Amino acid sequence: MPVITYQGEQYVSKADESVLDTLLRHQINIPYSCNAGVCHCCIMVSDSIKQPCPANLGLRDTLIAQGYILACQCKPTDAITVKHADEYDIFADAIVIEKNMLSDTVCQLKLHSAIDLYYRAGQYINIRMPNGQIRSYSLASLPSYDDYIELHIKRMSNGEVSHWLCDDIKQGDTVEIQGAYGDCFYLTHHVERDIVMIATGTGLAPLIGIIRDALAHGHQGTIQLYHGDRDHQDLYLDNELQAMAEQYENLAYFPCVSAIEPATDNRFFHGRASDLAFSQNKDLKNYCVYLCGSPAMVKSAKKQAYLNGADMKNIYADPFITKELRQSDSTTDMRRRSSD
Predicted confidence (pLDDT) per residue in 267-277, tens digit: 899 999 999 99
User: Is residue 315 over pLDDT 90?
Assistant: yes
Q: How would residue 167 be classed by pLDDT, with cut points 50, 70 and 90?
A: very high
Q: How would residue 261 be classed by pLDDT, with cut points 50, 70 and 90?
A: low
Q: How would residue 259 be classed by pLDDT, with cut points 50, 70 and 90?
A: confident
* Chain centroid, CA 268 distance in Å: 26
CA atoms within 13 A on the CB side of 170: 1
User: Are residues 135 and 111 in contact, defined by beta-carbon separation less than 8 angstroms?
Assistant: no
Sign of CA dihedral 311, 316, 320, 323: positive
User: Is residue 251 over pLDDT 90?
Assistant: yes
pLDDT digits (tens, 9 = 90+) for 66-88: 788 999 999 998 999 998 876 54
* Per-residue pLDDT, 319: 63
Percent of the chain, pLDDT > 90?
66
* Section 297-313 average pLDDT: 96
pLDDT digits (tens, 9 = 90+) for 196-247: 999 999 999 999 999 999 999 999 999 999 999 998 889 999 999 999 999 9
* Per-residue pLDDT, 311: 96
Please give the domain boundaries of the chain with CATH numbers for all domains: 3-86 (3.10.20.30), 90-181 (2.40.30.10), 195-319 (3.40.50.80)
Considering the entire predicted model, what is its pTM?
0.77
- Contacts of residue 123, defined as CB under 8 A and 6 or more positions apart, other chains included, come to 138, 139, 179, 180, 181, 182, 183, 184, 185, 206
* Section 188-198 average pLDDT: 97
